[in-house]
Structure 1
Amino acid sequence: MARPSDTRARIQAVARELFARQGVQNTSLRQISDRLGITKPALYYHFTSRDDLVRSIVQPLLDDMERFVSSRKPGGDPRALLGDYFDLIWRHREVIVMMVRELSVLSYLDLGNRMMEWRQRLIALLLGDGLTTTQRVRATIALGGMADCSVEYADLPIEEVKPTAVEAAAAALGV
């Protein structure tokens, strides 16, 4: 018999895939439980609602992003920071696809505001404070473009996407 944590992880994996492909609102808990071959009450044992399940899928991205921006110090190598940031968003690309596919996911855990705060912190780490509007726009394009690449090219190997994405982001930043 599977351990509860194994079942929980299997539920999250199937839900993440279905949410990314169909959208959160178009995916029922019944579809998830049927795909796993478990009963709906068994799914409810692990997650009290679809919202609870979505939160559990989004939370690792939140935790990783917070750790990432909190652990960095200003003045580091911008290209290394961009490369590490790309690795982070690539790891969570299914969640990012899910958010892009269905923008209502951004309301979970106040994700939209948190992501904007992280972006501002990343921009400060990359370029410092007191930036001109031009520098801020270039940084937004750099970071947003990298995130877009993790969605647009999610089915390609990271080795095909990361070097070009990081180089383009560095060029946009002028570093």
Structure 2
Amino acid sequence: MADTKQRILNAARELFAEQGVQRTSLREIAERLGISKPALYYHFASRDDLLRSIMKPLLDDAQAFVDQQEETQRDAPSGMDKRALLEGYFDFHYRHRRDVRLLLQELTTLSDLGLVELVIAWRRRVATLLIGPNPTLAEATKATIALGGLQDCTIEFAEVPQEELRKVSVDAAWGALGLEVIPPDENHSGHPVV
């Protein structure tokens, strides 16, 4: 049962990526899998239900990531390790890059389902961790460029090994934020800190 549901999700993800959500019918998904349309309806009531199910792991993981980062900040007496936050943000997007690409391709459809607003809200929470709750316009735009750029790099350079891409992408985001860098030999972690 769970295997059939996962097969449906995988086939739908492929078809949505190939031809778009609105141009993909449930019949096409069923045909690709060699199952009946009623069998597909047993697992998913509608195309919107199917799309929400595809996005659910990304949204759940995003919520968990932001919650954990906020908890880390509350518990860190010396302040947030912003480099670690950017690396975690990169890793999250790298892990979910197929669904992030689908999200970007289907902004209108996903916005109609209320999913884009969720993504924007948790990205604002990450930006607040980086630049504080009352940033200037310059600080806010730097955070938007840094976070958006990290996300885009995981899609644009998907063929680059994760470790290599993480380093150059996080370095670029760090530079976009304009954070002061303390050389690695002046801190214990080896990472620049602010």
Q: TM-score, normalised by structure 1?
A: 0.89
Aligned residues between the structures: 172
Instruction: Pick one of 3, 9, 12 that aligns with 2:9.
Output: 12
Instruction: Assess if the C-alpha contact under 8 Å between 2:145 and 2:173 holds in 1.
Output: yes
Offset of 1:131 from its aligned partner? 1.6
Instruction: Assess if the C-alpha contact under 8 Å between 2:139 and 2:177 holds in 1.
Output: yes
Offset of 1:155 from its aligned partner? 4.6
Offset of 1:48 from its aligned partner? 0.9
Offset of 1:160 from its aligned partner? 4.3
Partner amino acid, structure 2, of 1:27: T
2:149 is the counterpart of 1:145: yes
Q: 1:30 — aligned with what?
A: 27
CA radius of gyration, larger in: 2
Offset of 1:30 from its aligned partner? 2.0
Instruction: Pick one of 45, 61, 72 that aligns with 1:48.
Output: 45
- Larger RCO (alpha carbons 8 Å, 6+ apart): 1
Instruction: Assess if the C-alpha contact under 8 Å between 2:93 and 2:151 holds in 1.
Output: yes
Higher helix share: 1
Q: 2:134 — aligned with what?
A: 130
Instruction: Assess if the C-alpha contact under 8 Å between 2:66 and 2:125 holds in 1.
Output: yes
Instruction: Assess if the C-alpha contact under 8 Å between 2:48 and 2:113 holds in 1.
Output: no
Q: 1:41-80 counterparts in 2 under 5 A?
A: 41-72=38-69, 73-74=72-73, 75-80=79-84
User: Structure 1 residues 160 and 10 mapped into 2: Cα distance closer, same or farther (>3 Å)?
Assistant: farther
2:164 is the counterpart of 1:167: no
* Deviations 1:81-112, CA, capped at 9 Å, x for gaps: 11111111122111111121122233254122
Point out where structure 1 has 5 or more consecutive residues left out of the alignment.
none
Q: TM-score, normalised by structure 2?
A: 0.81
* Deviations 1:58-100, CA, capped at 9 Å, x for gaps: 1111111111111113332111111111111122111111121
Partner amino acid, structure 1, of 2:171: E
Partner amino acid, structure 1, of 2:38: P
Q: 2:95 — aligned with what?
A: 91
CA distance in 1 between counterparts of 2:128 and 2:159 reads 31
- SS state at 1:170 partner: helix
Q: 102-111 or 71-80: which moved more?
A: 102-111
User: Structure 1 residues 154 and 34 mapped into 2: Cα distance closer, same or farther (>3 Å)?
Assistant: farther
